[in-house]
Chain A
Amino acid sequence: MPEPVISAQNLVKAYKLKGKPDFLAVDGLSFEVAPGESFGLLGPNGAGKSTTMKMIGAVSTRTSGDLSILGLDPDQYGPEIRSRLGVVPQQDNLDGELNARENLYIYGRYFGLPGKVCHQKADELLAFAQLEDKAKNKVDQLSGGMKRRLTIARGLINDPRILLLDEPTTGLDPQARHVLWDRLFRLKERGTTLVLTTHYMDEAEQLCDRLVVVDKGRIMAEGTPASLIRAHSSREVLEVRFGSDRNAQAAAQLQGIGDRVEVLPDRVLIYAHDGEAALERVSAEGLQPITSLVRRSSLEDVFLRLTGRSLIE
């Protein structure tokens, strides 16, 4: 395996709180990312994903642990590391008083690129983000999806070696998400290392070669999406609904069907190798669910198994 471009060992970020013990936003994370890999941090809000991204982005200083980005220590070589990173933050921070093209141009200047190169890159990236006809529009006039694409385009102005994407598609409609995913696939094909956080399991499955499931600042599991599902869930899941006041009672009767039964407020999940066969057994028990659905296991199920909580709460 080639040497990792990101290496974190026992990474900790603690915030001081008045009159309370320190809050550990990141509590001993260790992971490595290989060049050209697409690596994901999956977890619910408040899991410590964004804090980890800020430390990888050489913006937030770590409290303890070792961190090396592109072979350099971010505490000492912040500007050097950041000069080779592209960053797409969770909240867009474009300058609304400048137009789309100016936002790209001026961002290129921050890396010391000559004006001529910035102009050329701005045009290329507007095409990449499918925003050529919006080049002269002020950012405030763009839709959420367009702003997101522009933010991603801006993150590429310096041809980064590593692109950090913090919740890149949160708040976007399905079509805009697919356009973004397509752009990210292309970057990956070019050999750009991608690190992304998400709480959408389909996004993680689509985009990540490998991921870690993070909760409360700690890594719960690590692997490829498929291996995580294999290790922590069954092949299929049967979802049955009996009505919110009857789910728990019905679940008690369903014990023994499939590998495991999980009760959620609105439905009961039965983890089984064969979902249809499990549904037949439910009927055989004399239970008539209002609705039923057989699907393949997803990372959501992995997360539920590992943490006892749903990803989106």
Chain B
Amino acid sequence: MSATGTDTQPTLDELRAEAMSWGRKPRRFGSWYVTEHMVRAMRAYGWTIIVGALGQPILYLLGLGIGLAALIQVPIVDRGQEVSYLVFVAPALLITAAISVASEEMTYPVMAGFKWRRYFYGFNASALSSPQIANGVVAGATARMVVAVSAYYLFIWVFGAVPNPETGWLSIIAGVAAGLAFGIPLMAYAGSLEDDKGQFALVQRFVFMPMFLFSGTFYPLDTLPIWLQWIGWVSPLWHGAELGRLATYGAPIPDAMVLVHIAYLVILCVGGYLWGRRVFIGRLAK
């Protein structure tokens, strides 16, 4: 095979200038290209997403909000404010839905990207950079959370569980924030795993479930003995649910505590992101 095409080749200066020009768009918008991929890939399990987003709230609201609420006739007293059981439990279920989506989208797809299908390496060989891949995973999961939580919000509103609809929609934001606060550190953890030895199932059983049960989801946190209350304090679910309750029925939460809830979620998101970014860069540059 003989060398060909050298006469028509551009000069090195031209090639350099061409590369600089081609690199501009991916540098600016690369994270969105990854998001586009992640959202497209979700279509493969689109039905699970739709059924999950619509079916889960119906089941929970019927089971807990209607069934259990029929048993619990007395109103719940939340820091002196009386609300029906359905109104009390609905925002916490909404936050749970967001966290549940985050724990799906930020574990298995990350493992698939690095290990099972290795498509993150494909992303990384293109004009995209490793932090943009992490950003895209976060943004893709956020997109799905927004859909799921908005559907949930619609249901609780229809079920009459949102006494303050003018601020109630803010619970969607609280849900997404809590989902990210749980999901982003989980993404970093998933990225650091070389093999799936059932760690995600353990997270589901020993992190997500206790959080779900002991974060003031079904009853105010202060009704728990003090030695169990810490689970709520460290759980993004409790912080998110408190903000959700503030939004949907104006739960009487002191301003300082509102700031604490917001700050806690932000810290988990930022800390998790910095960890995840490091994991993605390190693993893809090997």
The reply to whether chain A is a binding partner of chain B is: yes
Q: Are B121 and A79 in contact (CB under 8 A)?
A: no
Chain A residues within 8 Å of B126, by CB? 82-83, 87, 107, 110-111, 158
The interface residues of chain A, by DSSP majority, are classed as: loop
Chain A's nearest CB lies how many Å from the CB of B283?
11
Selected interface stretch from B32-40, B223-231, B236-244: B32-40
Across the interface, name the chain A residue whose C-beta is closest to B284.
A59
Q: Are A59 and B118 in contact (CB under 8 A)?
A: no
Task: Name which of B9, B19, B29 has the most chain A CB atoms within 10 A of its CB.
Answer: B19
**Contacts A5-B15, A59-B284, A185-B1 given: A96-B117 contact, CB under 8 Å?**
yes
Q: Are B129 and A93 in contact (CB under 8 A)?
A: no
Across the interface, name the chain A residue whose C-beta is closest to B36.
A109
Tell me, yes or no, whether B12 is within 8 Å of chain A by CB: yes
**Contacts A110-B30, A188-B4 given: A82-B127 contact, CB under 8 Å?**
yes
Tell me, yes or no, whether B205 is within 8 Å of chain A by CB: no
Chain A residues within 8 Å of B125, by CB? 57, 59, 82, 85, 87, 89
Of the candidates B10, B121, B129, the one whose C-beta lies within 8 Å of that of A89 is B121
Chain B residues within 8 Å of A111, by CB? 22, 25-26, 126-127
**Contacts A2-B6, A37-B3 given: A80-B122 contact, CB under 8 Å?**
no
**Distance of A191 Cα from B127 Cα, bound (Å):** 22
Q: Are A36 and B4 in contact (CB under 8 A)?
A: yes
**Contacts A35-B9, A80-B23, A94-B119 given: A109-B3 contact, CB under 8 Å?**
no
Q: Are B1 and A3 in contact (CB under 8 A)?
A: no
Size bracket of the A interface: 35 or more
**Distance of A297 Cα from B34 Cα, bound (Å):** 49
> Using a CB-CB cutoff of 8 Å, which residues 28-43 of chain A contact chain B?
34-38
Chain A's nearest CB lies how many Å from the CB of B1?
6
Tell me, yes or no, whether A23 is within 8 Å of chain B by CB: no
Tell me, yes or no, whether A282 is within 8 Å of chain B by CB: no
Selected interface stretch from A119-127, A204-212, A269-277, A299-307: A204-212
Q: Are A110 and B11 in contact (CB under 8 A)?
A: no
Q: Are B19 and A83 in contact (CB under 8 A)?
A: yes
Across the interface, name the chain B residue whose C-beta is closest to A109.
B33
Q: Are A95 and B117 in contact (CB under 8 A)?
A: yes
**Distance of A80 Cα from B24 Cα, bound (Å):** 7
The interface residues of chain B, by DSSP majority, are classed as: helix
Tell me, yes or no, whether A84 is within 8 Å of chain B by CB: yes
Q: Are B15 and A70 in contact (CB under 8 A)?
A: yes
**Contacts A35-B9, A111-B126, A112-B33 given: A84-B22 contact, CB under 8 Å?**
yes
**Distance of A81 Cα from B20 Cα, bound (Å):** 8
Tell me, yes or no, whether B213 is within 8 Å of chain A by CB: no
Chain B residues within 8 Å of A289, by CB? none
Chain A's nearest CB lies how many Å from the CB of B10?
8
Q: Are B29 and A84 in contact (CB under 8 A)?
A: no
Q: Are B26 and A77 in contact (CB under 8 A)?
A: no
Q: Are B41 and A98 in contact (CB under 8 A)?
A: yes
**Distance of A313 Cα from B34 Cα, bound (Å):** 40
Q: Are A3 and B12 in contact (CB under 8 A)?
A: yes
- A211-235: contact bitstring with B at CB < 8 Å (1 yes, 0 no)? 0000000000000000000000000
Tell me, yes or no, whether A133 is within 8 Å of chain B by CB: no
Tell me, yes or no, whether A172 is within 8 Å of chain B by CB: no
- A67-99: contact bitstring with B at CB < 8 Å (1 yes, 0 no)? 000111000011111111101010101111110
Q: Are B41 and A81 in contact (CB under 8 A)?
A: no
Tell me, yes or no, whether A189 is within 8 Å of chain B by CB: yes
Q: Are A189 and B127 in contact (CB under 8 A)?
A: no
**Contacts A77-B19, A94-B122, A97-B44 given: A208-B128 contact, CB under 8 Å?**
no
Across the interface, name the chain B residue whose C-beta is closest to A164.
B125
Tell me, yes or no, whether A60 is within 8 Å of chain B by CB: yes
Closest 4 CB pairs of A and B: A191-B5, A112-B25, A80-B23, A83-B22
5 A-B pairs with CB atoms under 8 Å apart are A82-B126, A84-B18, A89-B121, A112-B127, A209-B2
In the complex, given contacts A70-B15, A94-B122, A98-B40, what are 12 additional A-B residue pairs having Cβ atoms less than 8 angstroms apart? A5-B15, A35-B15, A37-B3, A71-B15, A78-B129, A80-B20, A80-B27, A83-B26, A84-B18, A91-B118, A206-B1, A209-B1
Interface residues of B (CB under 8 A from A): 1-6, 8-13, 15-16, 18-20, 22-27, 29-30, 33-34, 36-37, 40-41, 44, 117-129, 284-286
Interface residues of A (CB under 8 A from B): 2-5, 34-38, 57, 59-61, 70-72, 77-85, 87, 89, 91, 93-98, 102, 106-107, 109-112, 154, 158, 161, 185, 188-192, 206-209
